[in-house]
């Protein structure tokens, strides 16, 4: 299992290209199931999760052609050969549940393994299922699978009123609604940029959607969808992660392709911490030169609030801030697993349930640490950039799920980061 070695204490200077969004691509790819025409995705990120989704779609009969080193994906589902998403794939990647809605809408049936939980929480899918039932789906849960069937005439439009905001459930029902007969209204819908990106892609395929990016999305079902080409939106979580690199160890980085509207709430907190952010013609330039960052309080919320996927990374910064910061994790029930690892590096963190109090220290100390999930992994690397001495982040297979060539991107701006095979 690979490890990442980080030698701390080096200021950064240079440009980091921001890739297409993993969490957009993982919902755009299943959209191919809705149409028998080709769907071409450009600006696709080169990540192991994308490979896993490719395998899943191929197991259903989708033809996937990767071009330009994986940055362009051509997907064609003109002749599906199956409607079953097996446990051995779904357990590796929870986003596999996003084939459920499209399969139901296109084929009238689906057998999708329940994803099970993961390190950060139980991650139930009850909201996905209840939303699809509102479109007429009949669901039978047995032997760890959802056995779903649509009415003989196909799914029909309905009113879906989510009791809490769910990105995945919004995506699943949005995709299913595009082929349902009649009108669907999705209330308390997720507003993330990945939802907007999905709606734009579906509209390019001929879907009739209004209101994406707001809490109410309306869909008029159509008979069939058509071929389309869509550019995957820039990854706001990768963007925020790399914006934190100069913030934590000094210097500057220009994140090419970064857009302020994707990370507005996050930028407000960086600004309050004393970090300089400048919008340039090519992206966002972030710099810090003078002294320690200021402590700030952070509470994660659905978009447009502070993203839960940047909480771990922000905690790494606040471990070195001048003062006490309070972090509140309101989306997932167990998303402070990076805290004990940061404490091995000398951080002072008190975790009480969904709250963490961080008392900043002058300097973290390098240490061997263990990654527990995707965002925790990169939070430990960020901490290593600022720490005295060497940090070894183990179990980085998590990292490769969500970050393209992290050691190359950081190395290109002066960080001393290297990958050690098979520790
Ligand atoms: C998406 O997960 C992202 N994953 C997550 O990113 C992200 O953290 C999350 O949205 C929140 O922004 C992808 O897009 C592939 P949710 P998702 O449904 O859709 C509860 C990363 O690091 N819930 O918005 O699974 C759930 O337990 C990953 O890239 C139910 O109770 O998140 C959570 O507490 C991690 N029932 C809350 O809602 C359901 O049926 C929000 O989850 C669904 C969700």
Which residue in this structure is represented by tokens 């990647």?
A: 93
Residue 133's pLDDT is what?
98
**For domain 22-231, is the CATH number 3.40.1410.10?**
no
The rounded distance, in Å, linking the Cα atoms of 173 and 175 is 5
Mutate to test the pocket of ligand 1, among 168, 306, 371 (most ligand atoms within 8 A of CB): 168
pLDDT band for position 1 (cuts 50, 70, 90) = confident
Q: What is the torsional sign of CA 68, 70, 73, 79?
A: positive
Please name every residue paired with 325 in a beta bridge, in sequence order, or none if there are none: 358
Q: For residue 15, what are the contacts with CB-CB under 8 A and spacing of at least 6?
A: 253, 254, 255, 256, 282, 412, 413
Residue of 25, 118, 249, 267 marked catalytic:
118
Residue 289's pLDDT is what?
79
393's tokens? 């982040």
CA-based nearest residue to 311, from 348, 352, 339: 339
Residue 118 designated active-site = yes
pLDDT band for position 102 (cuts 50, 70, 90) = very high
Residue 4's pLDDT is what?
95
- Whole-number Å distance, alpha carbon 167 to ligand 1 midpoint, is 6
Mutate to test the pocket of ligand 1, among 29, 30, 122, 167 (most ligand atoms within 8 A of CB): 167
Establish whether residue 331 lines the binding site of ligand 1, counting it when its CB lies within 6 angstroms of any ligand atom: yes
List the residue whose alpha carbon is closest to atom 27 of ligand 1: 123
Establish whether residue 166 lines the binding site of ligand 1, counting it when its CB lies within 6 angstroms of any ligand atom: yes
pLDDT band for position 238 (cuts 50, 70, 90) = very high
Which residue in this structure is represented by tokens 């919320």?
A: 301
Residue 115's pLDDT is what?
87
10 Å CB burial of residue 253 (0-12, 13-18, 19+) is: buried
- Average pLDDT estimate for 338-347: 98
- Whole-number Å distance, alpha carbon 53 to ligand 1 midpoint, is 17
Residue 396's pLDDT is what?
84
What digits encode the pLDDT tens for the residues 239-295?
999 999 999 999 999 999 999 999 999 999 999 999 999 999 999 999 997 789 999
User: How would you classify residue 9: left for phi > 0, otherwise alpha for psi between -120 and 50, otherwise beta?
Assistant: left
List the residue whose alpha carbon is closest to atom 3 of ligand 1: 23
Establish whether residue 402 lines the binding site of ligand 1, counting it when its CB lies within 6 angstroms of any ligand atom: yes
- Whole-number Å distance, alpha carbon 13 to ligand 1 midpoint, is 34
Q: Which helix (H) or strand (E) holds 241?
A: helix 236-249
Is 60 exceeded by the pLDDT of residue 423?
no
The rounded distance, in Å, linking the Cα atoms of 283 and 236 is 12
The rounded distance, in Å, linking the Cα atoms of 190 and 167 is 5
Residue 129's pLDDT is what?
97
pLDDT band for position 415 (cuts 50, 70, 90) = very high
Is 60 exceeded by the pLDDT of residue 215?
yes
Residue 178's pLDDT is what?
98
**CATH 3.65.10.10 domain extents, the chain:** 3-19+234-420, 22-231
List the residue whose alpha carbon is closest to atom 35 of ligand 1: 309
- Whole-number Å distance, alpha carbon 168 to ligand 1 midpoint, is 6
CA geometry: angle at 99 spanning 228 and 95, to 5°?
105
Establish whether residue 300 lines the binding site of ligand 1, counting it when its CB lies within 6 angstroms of any ligand atom: no
pLDDT band for position 421 (cuts 50, 70, 90) = confident
Q: What is the torsional sign of CA 344, 346, 350, 354?
A: negative
- Average pLDDT estimate for 365-380: 93
- Whole-number Å distance, alpha carbon 161 to ligand 1 midpoint, is 17
Is 90 exceeded by the pLDDT of residue 67?
yes
- Average pLDDT estimate for 359-375: 94
What digits encode the pLDDT tens for the residues 8-40?
999 999 999 999 999 999 999 999 999 999 999
Average pLDDT, rounded, for the chain: 96
pLDDT band for position 422 (cuts 50, 70, 90) = confident
pTM higher than 0.85? yes
Map residue 184 onto helix, strand or coil: strand
Establish whether residue 338 lines the binding site of ligand 1, counting it when its CB lies within 6 angstroms of any ligand atom: no
307's tokens? 């993203």
Establish whether residue 169 lines the binding site of ligand 1, counting it when its CB lies within 6 angstroms of any ligand atom: yes
CATH T-level topology, domain 3-19+234-420: UDP-n-acetylglucosamine1-carboxyvinyl-transferase; Chain (3.65.10)
Residue scoring higher pLDDT (134 or 396): 134
CA-based nearest residue to 308, from 336, 286, 350, 285: 336
pLDDT band for position 397 (cuts 50, 70, 90) = confident
The rounded distance, in Å, linking the Cα atoms of 66 and 64 is 7
- Whole-number Å distance, alpha carbon 362 to ligand 1 midpoint, is 35
Q: Which helix (H) or strand (E) holds 325?
A: strand 324-328
Residue 383's pLDDT is what?
98
Task: Give the C-alpha distances (Å, rounded to integers) separating 106 from 82, 83, 103, 169, 266.
Answer: 12, 10, 5, 18, 38
- Average pLDDT estimate for 175-193: 98
Which residue in this structure is represented by tokens 């794939």?
A: 89
- Whole-number Å distance, alpha carbon 337 to ligand 1 midpoint, is 17
Closest approach atom of ligand 1 to CA 190:
24
Closest approach atom of ligand 1 to CA 374:
22
pLDDT band for position 60 (cuts 50, 70, 90) = very high
Map residue 145 onto helix, strand or coil: strand
214-252 exposure pattern, b = at least 16 Cβ within 10 A, e = fewer: eeebbbebeeebeebebbbbbbbbbbbbbbbbbbbbbbb
Residue 118's pLDDT is what?
78
């Amino acid at each position: 299992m690979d490890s990442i070695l980080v030698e701390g204490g080096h200021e950064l200077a240079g440009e980091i290209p921001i890739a297409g969004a993993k969490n957009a691509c993982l919902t755009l790819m299943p959209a191919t199931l809705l149409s028998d025409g080709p769907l071409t995705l450009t600006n696709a990120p080169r990540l192991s999760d994308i490979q896993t989704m490719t395998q899943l779609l191929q197991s259903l009969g989708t033809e996937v052609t990767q071009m330009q080193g994986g940055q362009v994906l051509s997907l064609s589902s003109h002749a599906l050969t199956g409607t079953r998403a097996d446990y051995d794939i779904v357990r590796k990647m929870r986003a596999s549940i996003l084939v459920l809605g499209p399969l139901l809408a296109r084929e009238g049936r689906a057998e999708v393994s329940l994803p099970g939980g993961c390190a950060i929480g139980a991650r139930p899918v009850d909201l996905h299922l209840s939303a699809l039932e509102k479109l007429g789906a009949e669901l039978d849960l047995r032997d760890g699978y959802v056995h779903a069937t649509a009415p003989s005439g196909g799914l029909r439009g309905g009113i879906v009123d989510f009791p809490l905001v769910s990105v995945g459930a919004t995506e699943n029902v949005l995709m299913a609604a595009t082929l349902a007969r009649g009108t669907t209204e999705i209330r308390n819908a997720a507003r993330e940029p990945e939802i907007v990106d999905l709606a734009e892609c579906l509209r390019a395929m001929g879907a009739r959607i209004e209101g994406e990016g707001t809490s109410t999305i309306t869909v008029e079902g159509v008979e069939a969808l058509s071929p389309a080409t869509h550019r995957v939106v820039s990854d706001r979580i990768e963007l925020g992660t790399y914006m934190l690199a100069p913030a934590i160890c000094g210097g500057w980085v220009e994140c090419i392709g970064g857009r302020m509207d994707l990370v507005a709430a996050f930028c407000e907190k960086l600004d309050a911490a004393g970090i300089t952010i400048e919008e340039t013609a090519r992206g966002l330039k972030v710099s810090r030169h003078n002294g320690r960052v200021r402590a700030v309080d952070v509470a994660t919320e659905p978009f447009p609030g502070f993203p839960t996927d940047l909480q771990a990374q922000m905690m790494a910064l606040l471990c070195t801030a001048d003062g006490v910061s309070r972090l509140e994790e309101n989306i997932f029930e167990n998303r402070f697993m990076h805290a004990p690892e940061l404490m091995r590096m000398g951080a002072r963190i008190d975790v009480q349930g969904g709250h963490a109090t961080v008392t900043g220290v002058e300097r973290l100390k390098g240490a061997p640490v263990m990654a527990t999930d995707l965002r925790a992994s990169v939070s430990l690397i960020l901490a290593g950039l600022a720490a005295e001495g060497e940090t070894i982040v183990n179990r980085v297979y998590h990292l490769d799920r969500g970050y393209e060539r992290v050691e190359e991107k950081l190395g290109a701006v002066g960080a001393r980061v290297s990958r050690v095979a098979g520790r």
